[in-house]
Chain A
Amino acid sequence: MTKSFVGLLAAALALTGLGTFAYKVFGLGYPVTRNATVDVWTIEARISFEGGAGSVKVSLELPTLTPGFTILPNQENFISPGFGFDTVYTAAGREAVWAVRRAEGRQTIYYRATVYADPAALEQDTTPTLPPVPELDEIYESAMQALVTEARAYSADDATFTAELLRRLNDPSPGQNAALFLSQVNNQTEKAQAAATLLAGNRIPARVVRGIYLQDQQRDALPVPWLEIHDGDRWRYFNPANGEQGRPDNFLFWWRGSQPLVHVEGGTDTDVRLAVQRNVTSAMTIAEARAARARSGIANFSPLALPIQTQAVYSILLLIPVGTLLIVLFRNLIGIKSFGTFMPVLIALAFRETQLLSGLVLFSLLVGLGLTIRFYLERLRLLLVPRLASVLTVVVLLMLCISMIATALDMEMGLSVALFPMVILTMVIERMSVVWEERGAAEALQQGVGSLLMASLCYLVMGIDVIEHLAFVFPELLLVLLALMLLLGRYTGYRLTELVRFRALSSSK
């Protein structure tokens, strides 16, 4: 009964841990290795103009709703020496507004942001209200009605209607109704705007959006118009130049509406350049940003949300359960004894600072010297606690001596001795001397070597890069460790050493 309950509990814990882990890896893109990177794009708008005598006001449309991409938070920069600056939300999106009382000579303003591909960034737009049928001159009115009626006849829904309409507008020899509208059109943007007007004629919400292709290293990217229509369910995207539906994967929507990207009041000779640069950034950064946007609470419930110094502490603390699981394996599956149940884990942590070899040397040196002194103290017949205190004091003095000698000899390793947990050392010395006296030197040395062996193995396993990374970034995996520990807690099979111990029994018959 208990056994099956432990099994269920362990399964629940393991599933919770692995489920969260899987969501973070596959859903949010948390990297499972430390140095994983993803591509990000740095986009830059450079606005330069000749300042005049009066005040200057510059407004720049900013990327706001960008299907397929997300702007990295805290990675938007507005560089504008001497200008007052604000961002305002408008009906079309966001605008950066710079203003200054006087700006003489050539002025340059930069906007820079980092975006990353994020398929989840699609559906966050609101459903628009149905647009009113545009009021046009009579001649346009009747042409619009004719076009709408024709396109409707050849389509089944809003999307096919749009495609049909765009096909007519892009026809090399357009019909007379289409030609009437096209006579007013000088570029692709205006064609898209004409299409939006016609779509309104069929009461389909449509808007013109302009964006840029994110391709490696562009100094002067050209904004390209795109058409968004809402089919009552979601937004659909059309290329106004050919009527194809969809949005290229590397196409970033920058701003919506008919207004220009930049508007400069009080300046002349305005020059706007959009630049694109491909960069790589840590996959961790992106995953964090994505988790924060998903509002899953996972970003907050992560060691990465802690202050840096606390993070440093937890990056080590979260490894301790890995070490303790090893201890459980050593004890209950193999059957090796050590001084103090979890002492090897703590020694292993000290080894992280000293490195393995010098750690082993220092540890043996300290314990050896400490034991000598402990045996001497035994003759003085001190009470237990004062004796422990004396050993502890001597251990500290020994550590100091080793460090000073090492410094004098110009040896780096001696300095790290100070990182050994003194109390642990003292307890090891005390227990080892008791075992030494009661059970003999062989048993004491055997347990001592066993402890060092376990400490070394813990050190090696806890030092594996992937394990460090997994423990810190996915603390939920500790639930899986916990599940394993629970299962091992109900393991009633033989220990490896028992197979040898009971050898006589199995061979006697």
Chain B
Amino acid sequence: MNLLAQARRLSELGVLGLNERNGDYISALNPRHLYPLVDDKLRTKELALQAGMAVPELYGTVHTDHEADHLENLLEGRDNFVIKPATGSGGDGILVVAERKRDDRFRLIGGQIIRLGELKYHVSNVLSGQYSLGGNPDAAIIEYCVRFDPLFDPISYLGVPDIRIIVYRGYPAMAMVRLPTRQSHGKANLHQGAVGAGIDLLSGRTTTAVLGNEPVDEHPDTGAPLAGVQIPDWMGILELAARCSDVVGLGYLGVDIVLDRDRGALILELNARPGLNIQIANGIGLKTRLRRIDAVADESRDYRQRAALAVELG
């Protein structure tokens, strides 16, 4: 393979690389002092609630090992829930409990049975910072486990599919839906083996998809075609994403949204360093979109107008 030709070709296609993302976009548009707003999922939740945006309900937080020892009190009456580190990254350290069995045993979404003691140990690992950025002491969040919309049933294997939208300077730039697979153990992170399916910004319909770095047409576990799935209330989702940018003030933002059967679109988390595989999922270089947004970006528009304009640009 001719490397230089390949680099030139990628550049012509407007493919964004890690160095450029870090050096030209993240460092210029995401002031460091705003990172904690998105790195700490508790604060993100708080901000979103203040702005009146829907998030998965917070059941409780664990800050000390003593609280971890009495985890059962927090879980009282909860049959399913999610335990996650407040400052985790890349989906590490997230446990999705699908069902409470007898005798303090729980079934994880992957089918694995786990004891209360093991849950407590996991929480204590979270607290000591095993999954946090930089290994700092952390808190554990216990929250509502999304009952996801049956829409994605045919194209996801267990787990919670979510929609990732890159919001650039307040304008939705690119979107994909992340579909868990057997390989990803029900998690929706692409580098853990989830499928990413690009979404056409105009229609809200899935287009091409990627598994790892390779394009795929069908879900590897269910065999259902990945393209052509219509996301309901697409405009509303884009507006929600555009609004997140106002709330946290980051100019280059990844917004993760889940579709709940009962509660509609919920903001799952925000990301100050969203990955680049979304380009492969969509089969489009991100820079082409970012440049188009640069050409029209204007502080005066509110999130609705920005979402509407983004649809036209996409």
B299 at the interface (CB under 8 A from A): no
- Among A59-67, A192-200, A449-457, A497-505, the stretch in contact with B: A497-505
For B105-143 the 0/1 string (1 means CB < 8 A from A) is: 000000000000110110011001111000000000000
CB–CB B279/A385 < 8 A: no
CB–CB A498/B280 < 8 A: no
For the complex, what is the distance from the CA of A102 to the CA of B308, rounded to whole Å? Answer: 113
Within 8 A of A (CB), among B191-229: 191-192, 208, 210, 213-215
For the complex, what is the distance from the CA of A19 to the CA of B13, rounded to whole Å? Answer: 43
CB–CB A505/B285 < 8 A: yes
**Which residues of chain B are within 8 angstroms of A508 by Cβ–Cβ distance?**
208, 215, 283
A295 at the interface (CB under 8 A from B): no
CB–CB A491/B128 < 8 A: no
A277 at the interface (CB under 8 A from B): no
B24 at the interface (CB under 8 A from A): yes
**Which residues of chain A are within 8 angstroms of B131 by Cβ–Cβ distance?**
434
CB–CB B18/A499 < 8 A: no
**Which residues of chain B are within 8 angstroms of A108 by Cβ–Cβ distance?**
none
CB–CB B213/A383 < 8 A: no
For the complex, what is the distance from the CA of A275 to the CA of B124, rounded to whole Å? Answer: 83
CB–CB A493/B210 < 8 A: no
Contact residues of B: prevailing secondary structure: helix
Partner of A504, one of B1, B23, B214: B214
A74 at the interface (CB under 8 A from B): no
For the complex, what is the distance from the CA of A332 to the CA of B21, rounded to whole Å? Answer: 12
Partner of A381, one of B1, B117, B283: B117
CB–CB B215/A509 < 8 A: no
Within 8 A of A (CB), among B77-118: 92-93, 117-118
**Which residues of chain B are within 8 angstroms of A505 by Cβ–Cβ distance?**
10, 13, 15, 279-280, 283-285
For the complex, what is the distance from the CA of A332 to the CA of B17, rounded to whole Å? Answer: 10
CB–CB B7/A434 < 8 A: no
Known: A438-B92, A439-B192, A506-B10. A492 touches B280 (CB 8 A): no
B28 nearest CB neighbor, chain A only: A2
Q: How far is the CB of A435 from chain B (nearest CB, A)?
A: 9
Within 8 A of B (CB), among A456-509: 489-496, 498-506, 508-509
Q: How far is the CB of A375 from chain B (nearest CB, A)?
A: 14
Q: How far is the CB of B292 from chain A (nearest CB, A)?
A: 18
CB–CB A509/B128 < 8 A: no
Partner of B128, one of A383, A496, A504, A506: A383
**Which residues of chain A are within 8 angstroms of B93 by Cβ–Cβ distance?**
438
Q: How far is the CB of B210 from chain A (nearest CB, A)?
A: 7
For the complex, what is the distance from the CA of A32 to the CA of B125, rounded to whole Å? Answer: 53
CB–CB A502/B210 < 8 A: no
Q: How far is the CB of B28 from chain A (nearest CB, A)?
A: 9
For the complex, what is the distance from the CA of A493 to the CA of B1, rounded to whole Å? Answer: 18
**Which residues of chain B are within 8 angstroms of A503 by Cβ–Cβ distance?**
6, 213
CB–CB B10/A494 < 8 A: yes
CB–CB B213/A504 < 8 A: yes
Range of interface residues on A (Cβ < 8 Å)? 20 to 34
**Which residues of chain A are within 8 angstroms of B15 by Cβ–Cβ distance?**
494, 502, 505-506
For A409-420 the 0/1 string (1 means CB < 8 A from B) is: 000000000000
Q: How far is the CB of A1 from chain B (nearest CB, A)?
A: 11
Known: A383-B65, A438-B92, A508-B283. A493 touches B13 (CB 8 A): no
Q: How far is the CB of A339 from chain B (nearest CB, A)?
A: 13
CB–CB A498/B13 < 8 A: no
Looking at B118, B124, B125, B210, the one whose CB has the most chain A CB atoms below 10 A away is B125
For B1-27 the 0/1 string (1 means CB < 8 A from A) is: 101001101110101011110011000
Partner of B17, one of A439, A489, A498, A509: A498
A384 at the interface (CB under 8 A from B): yes
Partner of B19, one of A383, A438, A494, A502: A494
CB–CB B130/A384 < 8 A: yes
Known: A381-B121, A383-B124. A504 touches B215 (CB 8 A): yes
For the complex, what is the distance from the CA of A506 to the CA of B18, rounded to whole Å? Answer: 17
**Which residues of chain A are within 8 angstroms of B215 by Cβ–Cβ distance?**
504, 508
Partner of B129, one of A384, A489, A493, A495: A384
A335 at the interface (CB under 8 A from B): yes
For A310-337 the 0/1 string (1 means CB < 8 A from B) is: 0000000000000000000000100100
For the complex, what is the distance from the CA of A505 to the CA of B131, rounded to whole Å? Answer: 32
For the complex, what is the distance from the CA of A194 to the CA of B214, rounded to whole Å? Answer: 99
Q: How far is the CB of A341 from chain B (nearest CB, A)?
A: 12
**Which residues of chain B are within 8 angstroms of A489 by Cβ–Cβ distance?**
23
Partner of A506, one of B13, B19, B121: B13
CB–CB A502/B280 < 8 A: yes
Known: A384-B130, A492-B19, A494-B19. A501 touches B213 (CB 8 A): yes
**Which residues of chain A are within 8 angstroms of B208 by Cβ–Cβ distance?**
508
For the complex, what is the distance from the CA of A502 to the CA of B1, rounded to whole Å? Answer: 13
Known: A492-B23, A494-B17. A506 touches B125 (CB 8 A): no
Within 8 A of B (CB), among A431-452: 434, 438-439
**Which residues of chain B are within 8 angstroms of A434 by Cβ–Cβ distance?**
92, 130-131
Known: A381-B117, A492-B24. A509 touches B19 (CB 8 A): no
For the complex, what is the distance from the CA of A439 to the CA of B194, rounded to whole Å? Answer: 12
Q: How far is the CB of B16 from chain A (nearest CB, A)?
A: 9
For the complex, what is the distance from the CA of A490 to the CA of B27, rounded to whole Å? Answer: 11
**Which residues of chain B are within 8 angstroms of A506 by Cβ–Cβ distance?**
6, 9-10, 13, 15
**Which residues of chain B are within 8 angstroms of A502 by Cβ–Cβ distance?**
10, 15, 213, 279-280
**Which residues of chain B are within 8 angstroms of A499 by Cβ–Cβ distance?**
1, 3, 6-7, 10
**Which residues of chain A are within 8 angstroms of B283 by Cβ–Cβ distance?**
504-505, 508-509
**Would you give 15 A-B contacts (Cβ < 8 Å), ordered by A?**
A383-B65, A383-B128, A384-B128, A384-B130, A438-B192, A493-B7, A495-B18, A498-B17, A498-B18, A499-B10, A501-B280, A502-B213, A504-B214, A504-B283, A505-B283
Q: Please give 17 more A-B residue pairs, beta carbons under 8 A apart, in addition to A383-B128, A505-B284.
A: A381-B117, A381-B118, A381-B120, A383-B65, A384-B125, A384-B130, A434-B130, A439-B191, A493-B20, A494-B11, A495-B18, A499-B3, A502-B280, A504-B215, A505-B279, A508-B283, A509-B283
Q: Interface on B for A, CB 8 Å cutoff?
A: 1, 3, 6-7, 9-11, 13, 15, 17-20, 23-24, 65, 92-93, 117-118, 120-121, 124-125, 128-131, 191-192, 208, 210, 213-215, 279-280, 283-285
Q: Interface on A for B, CB 8 Å cutoff?
A: 332, 335, 381, 383-385, 434, 438-439, 489-496, 498-506, 508-509
